[in-house]
Homo-oligomer: A and B are copies of this chain.
Amino acid sequence: MQLTVLGCHAATPRTLANPTSQTLDIRGHLFLIDCGEGTQVQLRKSKLKFSRIKHIFISHLHGDHFFGLPGLVSTFRLLGRENELHIYGPKGIKEAITMLLKLGDSWTNYPLYFHELTSKESIVVFEDDKIKVSTIPLNHRIYTNGFLFQEKEVDRKLNIEAVTAFGIDKCYYQKIKNGKDITLDNGNVVSNTKLTFDPPKPKSYAFCSDTVFEPSIVPIIKDVDVLYHEATFLDSEAELATKTKHSTAKQAAIIAKDANVGALVLGHYSTRYKSTDLFKQEAEEVFKPVFLGEDGKAFNF
């Protein structure tokens, strides 16, 4: 599972501070999460293949989270895209994008599907045999969702040495991988644990931006491997955080601790702070490990 932070700064793009966007490379999918202005340039810089993006998840309709989307949708057309593109985001996103395309008389020549969200409960928005993606209802100035990405259980790993030693025919391999015990020709039953190894534990990632300190998300993101949580402010600006419906580094860490996550990645820093070191320091007083999101930085979990 690789998380690439394309941009993780609050508000507007600047020379060295890109607004929110990230990719999650998980089980062969390259999911794009949020798409602030300049995302396509950041994708190029990170050498991520545009054609691998088939699903885009937009948390909310503030400019710093989706003003890069119309350009990216247009670029896909210019690149000769043929594959479907699915966009998941708040109601209104379809009208906005289609209107911009209409004004330019530039319809996509690939199938473009919008999945508009209105639910205030956590719902599943995408699912296949490998991955499930659900919303995490957040609490911001406008309707906002985070997204929870969960790998599904995979087959148990075959212990080739063991199955060979027992002389088991290949036609039983899939059953064994599914966890079944095997009855040999002599009537003996071989327990599945003797024929397989545990598969890798399914990984999970939760993206939470933008939101005020919102403990109601804890049950939804319980035990995830990695939590990205916005930390627009430091605790010294906690009042401002509450007023603008953002979080502090400390509050992000409290959520991480209460949800028992594996690791916390911070981002969405306000530009009022010269350095992000204090964010890490403040969060680590509550929870560890904490990683600082940085534009262009890739994390392997």
Contact = CB atoms under 8 A, between A and B. Distances in A.
Given A71-B67, A78-B11, A95 B99 contact: yes
B44 A14 contact: yes
Contact of A78 (B12, B71, B78): B12
Contacts of A106: 62-63
B70 A63 contact: yes
Interface in A272-291: none
B62 A104 contact: yes
Interface in A34-67: 37-38, 40-41, 44-45, 60-64, 67
Interface string A226-264: 000000000000000000000000000000000000000
Q: In this complex, which of A45, A96, A142 has the most chain B Cβ atoms within 10 angstroms of its Cβ? A: A96
A27 interface: no
A75 interface: yes
B14 A41 contact: yes
A252 to B, nearest CB: 23
Contacts of A141: 105
Copies of this protein chain in the complex:
2
A142 B12 contact: no
A68 B100 CA distance: 12
Contacts of A104: 60-63, 142
Contacts of A12: 40, 71, 74-75, 78
A40 to B, nearest CB: 6
Given A44-B15, A142-B104, A74 B68 contact: no
Contacts of A179: none
A80 interface: no
28 contacts: A11-B78, A12-B40, A12-B71, A12-B75, A12-B78, A13-B40, A13-B41, A13-B71, A14-B40, A14-B41, A15-B41, A15-B44, A37-B37, A37-B67, A37-B71, A38-B38, A63-B70, A63-B71, A63-B106, A64-B74, A67-B70, A67-B74, A92-B103, A93-B103, A96-B100, A96-B103, A104-B142, A105-B142
Interface of A: 11-15, 37-38, 40-41, 44-45, 60-64, 67-68, 70-71, 74-75, 78, 90, 92-93, 95-96, 99-100, 103-106, 141-142
Given A15-B45, A38-B38, 10 more contacts: A13-B40, A13-B41, A37-B38, A61-B104, A62-B106, A63-B104, A64-B74, A67-B74, A67-B100, A96-B100
